A and B are shown apart, each in its own frame.
Chain A
Amino acid sequence: MKTNANFMNHVYGWLLLLPAAVFLLAFTHYPTVATLVQSLFSEGTAIRPSVFVGLENYQMLAEDDIFWKVLGNNMWYALGTIPTSIGLAVLMAVWVNRRLPARGLVRMAYFTPTILPMIAVANIWLFFYTPQIGLFDQIGAAVGLPSQNWLGDPDLVLSCLIVMTIWKEAGFFMIFYLAALQSLPEELNEAAYLEGAGRWYVFRRITWPLLMPTTLFVSINAVINSFKMVDHLFILTKGGPNNASSLLLYYIFEVAFSFFDESYAATLTVVLLALLALAAVGQFLFLEKRIHYR
């Protein structure tokens, strides 16, 4: 009887899991494996069927200047957005967490960009970056600065995207820090202040270390976002000028759906998957050392 009940547990467990498992297998695990497989085959055409080519696609990738350019862009994009948005998020959270006139309004202002779609955000910011009549040029003209072709200048365009992304993301990360701050014991700060510690000292030596788990969570999210968020490129730059603002996933989109080279797109996707895996593992190992403070 007991073994029977135990056995039924296995059956029920799997039956309950089955529907979700089917979807996950069909649209996450199978396509991941299929991507790996396809990256080893040539692109089939009407007259030439797809054949196994080993690592040939990867060789092509290594010699593809655009790929390296786009990968570099993505690294700078991640480096430019993540530390700054996390820094701002912490600052916002600390501010919203203390006594502040009209705190609800301030919090709302910080958080609102989060619920706007990236496409809408890009539409609004496109105006800001427009030469001559755009907001930034108007402000610049008022203080006597020359007009800039913000999104048309290869040296400026990535920074423009970074600024916009920081605006979009900081408020999202803020709420995680806010949640963490609110769960910290109040006595800790009181005790430190009684000992005569300054606010900055308390933050650096007590609050920030205690926020480490949140920082781990937020940074993993931020890294994943910096590789999968490309919506704004469709509105703002289409990856240009001369791929100066293109990101890996956008390049994958172009290769697959504009150049119709699915095998090469699969090869690029493998790189993206590897980067995402690396980011998750690397950050976990790095941050784990500093988290255990108790």
Chain B
Amino acid sequence: MSARRQFSLGGCLEVSAAWMLAVLWISPLLYAFWAGFHPPQFATRFELFAPLTFANFAVVWDQAPFVQYFINTFTLVTSILAVQFVLCTLAAYAFARFEFWGKDVAFALVLVQLMIMPEVLIVENYTIMSKLGYVDTIAGIGLPYMASAFGIFLLRQSFKIIPKELDDAARIEGCSLMQILWKVYIPLSRSTYLAYGLVSVSYHWNNFLWPLVITNSVETRPLTVGLAIFGAPESGVDWSLISAATLLSVAPLLIAFLLFQRQFVQSFMHAGIK
């Protein structure tokens, strides 16, 4: 029966439609590759045997401090992830395994951040950062994101389905509360950490609005903000250079995605359906 469906005319049409949509969907990125790897005169002309070149990347590398931007983004993303893991793990442990006064209210207050994300509060958060002296620092970019409601929620779900018996067994063995967390809960939630980690890294690698607001120097600007400045029309629109710069900034994430496609898709899925 399924064989009949597969070879029917409708089935063939559907397969071609799926394929056409896929080609359509990937073509903007393919165009960026075309423009980035060809001399400028071919940026808007599509000829099969146009010569390939790396010159655009060399020019971009010289014109803008991309090395510094890479270092900034890397520092930002890793420090946010490290602090998020610690804060979210502790909070999730509290919500999953402890009964304390005001637990429900506290949890509701945590979930508020799912709706009111830091992007929405740029005005007031800028005032706070200037009072704290964190304007134009990498810490200033990261601070509003350190405690993540999303992370707390995900880890709490993951901790909750771990059998209570394992917890009890560890307690009888004489483990302290922190040892139980470290030896039982965290190792058994590895896939959730991976999922949350990938989502967090891609989010902050790509984040733009708040970093734009809070940074104003090369030493702190992440890649996205640097790329936006590079692409600004004042420097004259050169599609080959803009494409090369764009590819440079997305390259690490894109390569990671292509190599670990399955983990990425599963992580986003895992993070979404909880």
Contact = CB atoms under 8 A, between A and B. Distances in A.
The answer to whether A and B interact is yes
Interface of A: 9-14, 16-17, 19-24, 26-32, 34-35, 38, 91-92, 95-96, 99-101, 104-121, 123-128, 130, 133-135, 138, 167, 170-172, 175-176, 178-180, 183, 193, 214, 217, 224, 227-228, 230-231, 234-235, 249, 252-253, 256-257, 262, 265-266, 269, 272-273, 276-277, 280
B50 interface: no
Ordered nearest first, which 8 A-B pairs have the shortest CB separation? A13-B100, A117-B206, A23-B147, A13-B98, A31-B124, A16-B94, A109-B22, A20-B91
Interface in B114-147: 115-128, 143-144, 146-147
Nearest to A137: B44
B121 A28 contact: yes
Given A12-B94, A113-B29, 14 more contacts: A9-B98, A14-B101, A16-B94, A20-B87, A32-B121, A91-B21, A100-B15, A117-B250, A118-B206, A167-B28, A180-B273, A249-B120, A252-B122, A266-B124
A117 B106 CA distance: 33
B202 interface: yes
Contact of B22 (A105, A123, A234): A105
A23 B128 CA distance: 12
B162 interface: no
A280 B115 CA distance: 8
Contacts of B22: 105-106, 109-110
A16 B143 CA distance: 19
A253 B209 contact: yes
B265 interface: yes
Given A13-B100, A217-B272, A106 B18 contact: yes
Contact of B25 (A22, A124, A167, A269): A167
Contacts of A280: 115
B120 A228 contact: yes
A28 B118 contact: yes
Contact of B146 (A23, A101, A231): A23
A257 B130 CA distance: 14
A28 B254 CA distance: 31
B5 to A, nearest CB: 8
A185 B231 CA distance: 49
B110 interface: yes
Contacts of B44: 127, 133-134, 138
Interface of B: 1-2, 6, 14-15, 17-19, 21-23, 25-26, 28-29, 31-32, 35, 43-44, 86-88, 90-91, 93-95, 98-101, 103, 106, 109-110, 112-113, 115-128, 143-144, 146-147, 149, 152, 177, 202, 205-209, 212-213, 224, 227-228, 231, 237, 239, 242-243, 245-246, 249-250, 253-254, 257-258, 261, 264-265, 268-269, 272-273
23 contacts: A20-B88, A23-B146, A24-B110, A24-B147, A92-B18, A105-B22, A106-B18, A112-B25, A112-B257, A117-B207, A117-B249, A120-B32, A123-B245, A127-B44, A167-B28, A175-B269, A176-B269, A217-B272, A224-B117, A234-B212, A253-B122, A265-B123, A269-B124
Contacts of A138: 44
B130 to A, nearest CB: 11
A126 B243 CA distance: 11
Contact of A116 (B90, B242, B254): B254
Contacts of A170: 25
A13 B102 CA distance: 10
A68 B148 CA distance: 33
Given A175-B269, A276-B115, A235 B152 contact: no
Nearest to A232: B208
Contacts of B88: 20
Contact of A249 (B21, B119, B257): B119
B265 A135 contact: no
Contacts of B98: 9-10, 12-13, 16
Contact of A27 (B128, B209, B258): B128
A175 B265 contact: yes
Contacts of B106: 17, 21
> Which of the listed residues B121, B152, B207, B245 has the most CB atoms from chain A within 10 Å of its own CB?
B121
A119 B228 contact: yes
A105 to B, nearest CB: 7
